[in-house]
Structure 1
Amino acid sequence: MAEENIQLVEQFPGADDYCRLRSAAGMSPKTIEAARKGLPNTLYGVSLRRDGEVIGMGRIIGDGGCFYTVVDIAVAPPFQGRGLGKRIMTALDAWLRANAEPSAYVTLVADGEARHLYAKYGFVETAPASVNMEYLVASNPAD
């Protein structure tokens, strides 16, 4: 499997590939309905393709001015550990530096050892000054 067969395409995958790749990469699953609603709101996204199959992805969401969030960086397990996550991040970072305002706030949630990759692009841990907080709609109390 030569790496030159893997193309970076400046287009985020469709909902089916998105859901498949998230699951394959061990990320929390998303429903096809959620993906169909959410993906059109991508500001910029990339796919890694090998022989037409999506094997990697990453995208940027946000308001296009003040706030941007890097999300959905995933590489299919058979292709992990080959620098493909770095290839995705390099494309996303280049887009941000070319398109985001200098005062823009860019965030991401780093899982596990991925924080070392993101640090190479200038991301820093903010705890204890600020911490990531989240909830899953299905499990959040209504009160």
Structure 2
Amino acid sequence: MKKLNYTIVNEPPTADEYIELRHKVAWDSVEQSVAQNSLDNSLFNVSIRQEENLIGMARVVGDGFIYFYIQDVLVSPEYQGYGIGRELMERVENYLSKACPEGSTVGLLAAKGKEAFYQHYEFIARDGENLGKGMCRFVRK
């Protein structure tokens, strides 16, 4: 595997970079102001860049006390398979280890086929046996 040179910082990308990365992974588009407000209201952000180009990001959202949600673990398709996702999750897990009090819940919505990746970090699938299955709703025009 080719070694990549990149920098990793606990900062959000710009709203335009976030929108572009969402587009690269075939996620819905959002307006620039919505993206900016969303990033600004995150509890934690991490970005990975190769030179000046954003190649990956992740963030944590929630109330900062009981509920924490890992959101937008995104890696540009041409950089997938190089361990970028693991680097992002290492930073996220480090943040959560300090931020989460006893009794808090950390959730996420895994993209289809990515569940095993998150199981490495002790996340469990909500299969409906003991806990209800996870649900979501997408708001589209």
Instruction: Report the residue type matching 1:92 in the other structure.
Output: V
Instruction: Report the residue type matching 2:51 in the other structure.
Output: D
Residue number in structure 2 paired with 1:101: 101
Residue number in structure 1 paired with 2:136: 134
Shift of 1:95: 0.6
Shift of 1:98: 1.4
Q: Deviations over 1:57-108 (max 9, x none)?
A: 0000000100000000111111001111111011101110111112110000
Alpha-carbon separation, structure 1, partners of 2:51 and 2:45: 19
Quick check: 1:113 aligned with 2:113? yes
Higher helix share: 1
TM-score (norm: length of structure 1): 0.90
Instruction: Report the residue type matching 1:130 in the other structure.
Output: G
Report the CA distance shift for 1:138/1:26 in structure 2 as closer, same or farther (over 3 A).
closer
Unmatched tracts of structure 1, length 5 or more: none
Instruction: Report the residue type matching 2:53 in the other structure.
Output: E
Shift of 1:29: 2.2
SS at match of 1:58: strand
Instruction: Report the residue type matching 2:14 in the other structure.
Output: G
Unmatched tracts of structure 2, length 5 or more: none
SS at match of 1:17: helix
Alpha-carbon separation, structure 2, partners of 1:136 and 1:112: 16
Question: When the two structures are aligned, how many residues end up with a matched partner?
Answer: 138
SS at match of 1:138: coil
Alpha-carbon separation, structure 1, partners of 2:82 and 2:3: 11
Residue number in structure 2 paired with 1:76: 76
Residue number in structure 1 paired with 2:123: 123
Instruction: Report the residue type matching 2:38 in the other structure.
Output: G
User: Percent identity at matched positions?
Assistant: 28
Written as runs of structure 1 = structure 2, the 5 A alignment for 1:1-12 is 2-3=3-4, 5-12=5-12
Alpha-carbon separation, structure 2, partners of 1:26 and 1:86: 21
